[in-house]
Structure 1
Amino acid sequence: LSVFAAGFGLRQAEMRVTRSELPSEHVAQPVLGHMTAALDKGTVAKADDLSDSQLAAGVMMGDMLAFGSLVERAMEVLLITLLGAALASYWDWRAIGLGLALFCVIRPASVWLLVSRNLLNARQKALVGWFGIRGIGSLYYLCFALSHGLADDVGDVVIGMTLSVVALSILLHGISIQPLLERYERSTAAKLDT
């Protein structure tokens, strides 16, 4: 929570200094060209049109976001490696039923019931319902529960089920992400062409 508050405060300070509603990294990106996204994805501006503080804030925020993303991915690789090592001891076959219920019924139904039609169309809801949020967060919740007095006998079951469901999620979603997103992009492009 403190990291979120610090990031929020930093963004507010940036907006006060630059007097711009647009995040500075979006403005600085096409001018400097040092970020990896395509130039047509950012706001095109001439370097002379930008104030020095806005340009500096954009470079700093862009680099901070890139570094944060790098650290996040490195931690995910570490956690997934540890998950694989722990899975040999904690695999629970009951997780297959739970995982299928979560992936195919509970999460899609939640998305369909809670997300308005104005926010996502039917195809987008189906994708969000299938992929959901990153399952790696379940490991953080597991650690929280274990460190706050979860009984040992219940803890072993919860560990096994959580690790097994996360592993199933990685397997199923890892296999299906590329073909499903390619199909979604093709259908979206076809709609734009008509």
Structure 2
Amino acid sequence: MADRPGAWIAAVGTGIALLTTDGAVEWLDRPEDRTPVAGRMNDGVADATGRFWAGSMAYDGAHGSGSLYRTDPGGTVVRVLDGLTIANGPAFTTDGTTMYLADTAAGTILRCRVDPVSGDLSGGPETFARLRDGEGGPDGMTVDAEGCLWVAMWGAGAVRRYHPDGRLLHTLGVPAPHPTSVCLHPK
């Protein structure tokens, strides 16, 4: 948030908060406090315009109880998608027009069109990739300079790279059974 230099935005507990350099927590909203099933926040990421996107999930993993929230630069928190189970790894293309979102429990990676000016989703999400049982669950993600999606595979000890058309290009084994996110180093 531009008017709060030095503050960090975080998905924590049941909501979105600003964390200040002196350790104070300033809640922007706690939307999971108002849901019928007790839940918590999960993965979050900022888009190129400074909006913060974060998913949620029910503590008990109840099917369809998770949501995706967007925090606009002014601090307003908006629920933009619901009916998810474990919302993970929002990731954006460099132009900000496409967002990928994992529903780990469903073994699904969704693709959503995003209006980069308003942050609104254009139409509903479409299935980008569906994983089979035993392949692990899609978790944190990032998009590389070529527009390919890298996905941490919880429970599979791997990271996958997908072409923008959905083709699996590469699976990279990692020395951890539950990778949770992907960070790429620029060349």
TM-score normalised by length of structure 2:
0.22
Higher strand share: 2
Structure of larger gyration radius: 1
> Which protein, 1 or 2, shows the higher relative CO under an 8 Å CA cutoff with sep ≥ 6?
1
TM-score computed with the length of structure 1 as normaliser = 0.21
Higher helix proportion:
1
